[in-house]
Chains A and B, each alone.
Chain A
């Protein structure tokens, strides 16, 4: 079973994402900000990370930069999932090493399509 880390400061979003990803047969762990996510990755590197941008303590972009420097941190497929919906943000995320990008609001079909896109399903 593939493991996906869901990183979002909203517990509602985490719950929605968990439900969708569990249906797609992922094992889920959650983090509320970039810092928590980084710790989780240090303990166990996930196969996939669904990543919010704006979060307290450490934001998604900063987390991504740190993650890619970690041992094995190149491996996880990172899919941003954020309300930052403009070309500037998208381009920045891709340059920083994100594999895909979901613009909120999202639904089951979009998550599935994007995870397929990066070869996770």
Chain B
């Protein structure tokens, strides 16, 4: 791959998905994109690049973006965020939304679905406390391929053994050979949609909780800051955002502040956002727990 081709692909990926590649990632590009090129009947990366320069090649462009994503995920990844969810976020929001009985949760980089389904399992475990409530979970990702897998809800024996308690496997999955399919009930709790985090969030509506985990790590600082700030705008003032273990708002955005003693959990920083004093007052009163 010539330096010019490499530069083109770097810029292309940065513009399309936010992905930032450092200087020596030629091998990565080649191993991921040669199969895409071959599938499109192209003999080399050079041929692929010249096709990509044609703006009409939208399908090929999508395939290239998808092939460069890292989709690793597992059930109850890092565990702690799901403890925050059941121990802090849900009890608080169930109280605060008692009149509306409606919650909206967004998994902003849902990959193959383990994260939204883990949340769905947490909800099921709440049992009768959620009777009469409408809880929406929206799972989005830039890659259609992972969304198809998420929708199907079929996992390998390896995938169901990483983070999923055995009781949950028995309770929520059915087995066919070494494949495990998540129950229709849990599948019906999640909506899936292709969505690129670089695009406008208008039209998504307001959310009470946003999980945006292990995706910002692939972006540069301005992109991270921009996405965090825009999440701040679509989050309810008393809502929560959850980032991945290697991600933070610190040094990037004033829109959120870390929730003390709750690793990875962030609350809107209403003062910095210019939130009106009375709202901030209500919020502080509501925070009683900490």
Contact = CB atoms under 8 A, between A and B. Distances in A.
Interface of A: 85-87, 90-91, 94, 100-103, 106-107, 109-110, 113-114, 116-117
B158 A110 contact: yes
Main secondary structure of the interface of A (DSSP, over half): helix
B77 to A, nearest CB: 10
A87 B170 contact: yes
Interface of B: 74, 79, 157-158, 161-163, 165-167, 169-170, 174-175, 178
B170 A85 contact: no
A103 B163 CA distance: 14
B162 A90 contact: no
Contact of A106 (B79, B161, B163, B165): B161
Contact of B163 (A85, A101, A113): A113
B172 to A, nearest CB: 12
Q: Among the interface residues A85, A86, A103, which one has the most CB atoms of the partner chain B within 10 A?
A: A103
Given A110-B161, A116-B79, A101 B178 contact: no
| 5 A-B pairs with the lowest CB-CB distances in the bound complex, closest first | A101-B166, A110-B161, A113-B162, A87-B175, A100-B166
Contact of A94 (B158, B161, B170): B170
A90 B166 contact: yes
A94 B163 contact: no
A114 B167 CA distance: 12
Contacts of A90: 166, 169-170
A103 B79 contact: no
Given A94-B167, A94-B170, A109-B162, 19 more contacts: A85-B157, A85-B178, A86-B175, A87-B174, A90-B166, A90-B169, A90-B170, A91-B170, A100-B165, A100-B166, A103-B161, A107-B158, A110-B158, A110-B161, A110-B162, A113-B161, A114-B161, A117-B163, A117-B165
A100 B163 CA distance: 11
Contacts of A107: 158
23 contacts: A85-B178, A87-B170, A87-B174, A90-B166, A90-B169, A91-B170, A94-B166, A94-B167, A94-B170, A100-B165, A100-B166, A102-B161, A103-B161, A106-B161, A107-B158, A109-B162, A110-B158, A110-B161, A113-B161, A113-B162, A113-B163, A117-B163, A117-B166
